[in-house]
Structure 1
Amino acid sequence: MSIADSFLKDFHHVATIGATEHRGVERQAATEKDRETRDWFVAFAKERGWRVDVDGVGNIFATVEFVPGAPAVLTGSHLDSQPRAGRFDGAYGVLASLHAAAEIERRVRAGELQPNYNLVVVDWFNEEGSRFAPSIMGSSVYTGLMDREEILAVRDLEGTSVREALDGIGYLGTGEGPRELAGYAEIHIEQGRILEREGIELGAVDSSWYTQKIDVEVLGEQSHTGATAMADRRDALVAAAQIILMARDICAEFPAESLVSSVGQMTVEPNSPIVVNSRVHLVADLRANDPAIVQQARDTLMERFQEVAKREDVEVVARDFDIRPNRYFPQEGIELSERVAKDLGFSIRRIQTMAGHDTVPLNTATPTVMLFVPSVDGVSHCEREFTKDEDMVNGLRGLTGVISEMLTGALDGVTYPGTAPEGSGSGSASGEGR
């Protein structure tokens, strides 16, 4: 069976784990369905004789050893998903990395490639951040951007901690991933329309947008919806509704498409049909390529939230949360992707990511390369998410080529993270989001 056929067979099989009725998946972090995909990952590695390690925050590392004691090139993505999500986001990158590693091992054993480094495939824990916030947990702990003990203490809406959830599915490990790295490579669906619209086969990610979230708690007073006079109500949900609209409408005050913002999660208490709600918790998400735009929007919203508090006689407690600066990927890695694409006969263009990916924290620890493949209609984080088989296979071939070059030292001595191109932003933004 060819590498393409083997990859597609495995990809479509893994998509049956946690499958939803409209061909999506639901495998939120550290749930039973997440465990099933993790078990599949481990079995794939062990069948090939690769060593498997699970670290203390649930990241899984499968090591293909070529040079004992040498640093490692890491490649991978994540297997967890959003609720009722698409089957491509994250999982494509993990499956492509596993099959790229298997093909590279074949080439090494056949004497076609002489690596300087070992190769490690990783499934990062809780990249999505839907069950446990914030997102990009596993890779951020691995790179030292988040504290492991603090993350293990994070609880979901049901009160279960990360530690308890990982222990419950058997993936609270005691091992560790490679501590000396020669680079990291990841491939992902674009989750935007640019590659599809322009008919381009691969995207070389050159930078990520500035991101910040605002954690908002609205505190009113619980009372009877029928018996409480309108003038006496301190309705937290009414105030929260205004805040949600403010978070959306702020984008219209800046140049078109320069800022995106939304509220994606909200909890309401006591959430009874005959009770005025006393508490609402929500998270607003602001993103722009220019940090000054995010800061200005953030400051304006903070002022307006307090105006709502005064008008509705409630308390609004808002705090900054999960702030991520722009990250620039090393120029040498971008050029490597372009050379590999040219050798394979693929079209490629430079592209930004508006979303967070595991490449963002990894880029602070080692030279990092990220590739995109087209997404049909740019739709993601929903069951309609789709990427064609041929595009996935093209991406697999591109990733295999990039990793092969990295294993032979293509990014040796490269400074990370990269820096912004002089005088401009980088490639066009993709309409994706995490």
Structure 2
Amino acid sequence: MSFTPDSRASLSRYWSTIEASAGIGQGRPGGLARLTLTDSDREMRDLFVSWCREAGLTVEIDTMGSIFGRREGTDPTLPPVMIGSHLDTQINGGRFDGIAGVLAGLEVVRSLNDAGHVTRRPLVIVDWTNEEGARFSPPMVASGVYAGRYALDWAHDLISDDGARFGDELARIGYLGEKPCGGEVDAYFELHIEQGPILDAEGREVGVVTGGYPSHGIRVRFTGETAHTGPTPMDLRHNALVAGARFLTAVDDIGWDYAVHDGKATGSRLAAWPNKPGILSDTAECVADVRHPDPITARVMAEKMRRAAQEAAARAGCTAMIEDEWVWGGDIFDAGLIGLIRGEAIRQGYNWRDIQSQAGHDAYHMAPRFPTAMIFTPCKGGITHNNNENCTPEDIAPALNMLLHAVVARADR
């Protein structure tokens, strides 16, 4: 058997790995709650490592806990072609978000093993740690360290809601690796479910991702003062919980102001302390973001979001400090790789369209440093970050086969 233009991945074998993953860290019916660096994350990591080794890959773990499975090329001196995504999930996550992409990389390797084809450049499959940011904020932190956006020590010192330290949890589950973060990459590919309704609504088989919605996010800490809810006069209150609530409502209003042109604004987190009856909260932490297809408009929305934090604090008699800010998206993906993927869609006869990503992905951190591209597969109704997230094998097959051939074309050049 050899690798030919008509070669196809084994859909049944691929789907068996999806089903095995779906049994680890189960949450609500049909979904997953496999938060990063938890015991269920360790169990999934262990299974993935065993699959990599069975496929003949050399496995390394870096100092952020990301897992790299390397298949050597005929010229091992060349930078590798990398295929990646993540195996961690949201607290009410689905079975495909990120997982579909990591396991697609594994299936590419297995298909090449079946064909007896060794690419010129090495291939590396990667499972990035903490893409979701559901336990440790911000999201996509390990790929950010790999690409030089974040410092390793800063990432290791991140603290979760349950008081755990990122670096300590890596060590606890046995995935504090020794491989330094970073290294040269020839190209980075990421297959992902769309996480939106466009492909499904249009009956498209696959999406060629041309870029991402410019997105701006912030983490804000409001500081006030505890006091009794009964006798404390309104003009003497410094309720951080109220400041946070006002801020998040203002962010939501920003989204509605720009919704006609597909702008979006989200208040996704409010964590206050003490957050108990009978006492005003003296601290509140909020996370919010804005997104818009036009980068200038996105920046305007971001400035309004920053001002809303200060205005909310002033109205509640508190102070506001922006502790973290991030920017993602734009026209960041490589034109050559986009053309390669689009060419495969045409050659293989799939019903495709160009599409922008509206969610964050590890590819966003990789793109400024290395040629990067993404392939989207449809998901039913665009439902995601939800236990009802759903795809069929037939939904994913076109993207999987396009990934296989695009990777080989890039790695053999």
Common topology (TM > 0.5): yes
**Residues 247 and 263 of structure 1 are in contact (CA less than 8 Å); yes or no, is this contact kept in structure 2?**
yes
Cα displacement (A) at 1:99: 0.8
TM-score (norm 2): 0.93
Question: For the structure 1 residues 250 and 120, does the alpha-carbon distance in structure 2 shift closer, same or farther, using more than 3 Å as the test?
Answer: same
Aligned to 2:3: none
Q: Secondary structure at the match of 2:207?
A: strand
Q: Distance in 1 between matches of 2:144 and 2:302?
A: 24
> Do residues 388 (structure 1) and 396 (structure 2) align?
no
Question: For the structure 1 residues 289 and 238, does the alpha-carbon distance in structure 2 shift closer, same or farther, using more than 3 Å as the test?
Answer: same
1:135 pairs, out of 123, 132, 139, with: 139
> Do residues 207 (structure 1) and 211 (structure 2) align?
yes
Q: Deviations over 1:58-100 (max 9, x none)?
A: 1111111122333211102100111121111001101111011
> Structure 1: where are the runs of 5+ without partners?
410-434
Amino acid at match of 1:64: R
Cα displacement (A) at 1:216: 1.7
Q: Distance in 2 between matches of 1:114 and 1:241?
A: 56
Q: Distance in 2 between matches of 1:101 and 1:90?
A: 18
Aligned to 1:360: 364
Cα displacement (A) at 1:320: 5.3
Aligned to 1:126: 130
Aligned to 2:376: 372
Aligned to 2:327: 323
Question: For the structure 1 residues 301 and 177, does the alpha-carbon distance in structure 2 shift closer, same or farther, using more than 3 Å as the test?
Answer: closer
Cα displacement (A) at 1:342: 2.1
2:77 pairs, out of 55, 66, 69, with: 69
> Do residues 167 (structure 1) and 171 (structure 2) align?
yes
Cα displacement (A) at 1:24: 0.5
**Residues 72 and 178 of structure 1 are in contact (CA less than 8 Å); yes or no, is this contact kept in structure 2?**
no
2:318 pairs, out of 314, 318, 324, with: 314
Aligned to 2:284: 280
Percent pairwise identity:
33
Aligned CA RMSD, in angstroms, stands at: 1.8
Cα displacement (A) at 1:308: 3.2
Question: For the structure 1 residues 158 and 114, does the alpha-carbon distance in structure 2 shift closer, same or farther, using more than 3 Å as the test?
Answer: closer
Q: Where do 1:98-137 residues align within 5 Å?
A: 98-107=106-115, 109=116, 113=117, 115-137=119-141
Q: Deviations over 1:156-189 (max 9, x none)?
A: 1222221101001000000257833221111000
Q: Distance in 2 between matches of 1:328 and 1:122?
A: 20
2:10 pairs, out of 3, 14, 22, with: 3
Q: Distance in 1 between matches of 2:304 and 2:153?
A: 34
**Residues 18 and 95 of structure 2 are in contact (CA less than 8 Å); yes or no, is this contact kept in structure 1?**
no
Amino acid at match of 1:18: G
Aligned to 1:92: 100
Q: Distance in 1 between matches of 2:180 and 2:307?
A: 45
Q: Distance in 1 between matches of 2:306 and 2:345?
A: 46
Q: Distance in 2 between matches of 1:72 and 1:222?
A: 55
Q: Distance in 2 between matches of 1:301 and 1:330?
A: 31
Q: Where do 1:214-293 residues align within 5 Å?
A: 214-254=218-258, 256-293=260-297
> Do residues 42 (structure 1) and 46 (structure 2) align?
no
Cα displacement (A) at 1:302: 3.3
Q: Distance in 1 between matches of 2:256 and 2:90?
A: 28
Cα displacement (A) at 1:374: 0.3
Q: Secondary structure at the match of 1:371?
A: strand
Q: Secondary structure at the match of 1:336?
A: helix
Q: Secondary structure at the match of 1:294?
A: helix
Question: For the structure 1 residues 217 and 114, does the alpha-carbon distance in structure 2 shift closer, same or farther, using more than 3 Å as the test?
Answer: closer
TM-score (norm 1): 0.89
Cα displacement (A) at 1:408: 1.3
2:153 pairs, out of 141, 145, 149, with: 149
Amino acid at match of 1:393: A
Deviates more, 1:367-376 or 1:174-183: 174-183
Cα displacement (A) at 1:388: 1.6
Q: Distance in 1 between matches of 2:196 and 2:64?
A: 30
Q: Distance in 1 between matches of 2:291 and 2:371?
A: 24
Deviates more, 1:220-229 or 1:129-138: 220-229
Amino acid at match of 2:237: R
Q: Distance in 2 between matches of 1:71 and 1:301?
A: 41
Aligned to 2:4: none
**Residues 211 and 329 of structure 2 are in contact (CA less than 8 Å); yes or no, is this contact kept in structure 1?**
no
Q: Distance in 2 between matches of 1:325 and 1:369?
A: 12
Question: For the structure 1 residues 114 and 252, does the alpha-carbon distance in structure 2 shift closer, same or farther, using more than 3 Å as the test?
Answer: same
Q: Distance in 2 between matches of 1:310 and 1:338?
A: 51
Aligned to 2:307: 303
**Residues 75 and 185 of structure 1 are in contact (CA less than 8 Å); yes or no, is this contact kept in structure 2?**
yes
Aligned to 1:416: none
Cα displacement (A) at 1:215: 2.0
Q: Distance in 1 between matches of 2:181 and 2:107?
A: 20
Q: Deviations over 1:259-290 (max 9, x none)?
A: 21111111111111121222211111111222
Question: For the structure 1 residues 305 and 357, does the alpha-carbon distance in structure 2 shift closer, same or farther, using more than 3 Å as the test?
Answer: closer
Question: For the structure 1 residues 365 and 271, does the alpha-carbon distance in structure 2 shift closer, same or farther, using more than 3 Å as the test?
Answer: same
Amino acid at match of 1:305: A
> Structure 2: where are the runs of 5+ without partners?
1-8
Q: Distance in 1 between matches of 2:28 and 2:320?
A: 39
Q: Secondary structure at the match of 1:186?
A: strand
**Residues 327 and 360 of structure 1 are in contact (CA less than 8 Å); yes or no, is this contact kept in structure 2?**
no
**Residues 15 and 25 of structure 1 are in contact (CA less than 8 Å); yes or no, is this contact kept in structure 2?**
yes
Question: For the structure 1 residues 174 and 307, does the alpha-carbon distance in structure 2 shift closer, same or farther, using more than 3 Å as the test?
Answer: closer
Q: Secondary structure at the match of 1:146?
A: coil
Q: Distance in 2 between matches of 1:136 and 1:3?
A: 29
Cα displacement (A) at 1:325: 5.1
**Residues 239 and 308 of structure 1 are in contact (CA less than 8 Å); yes or no, is this contact kept in structure 2?**
yes
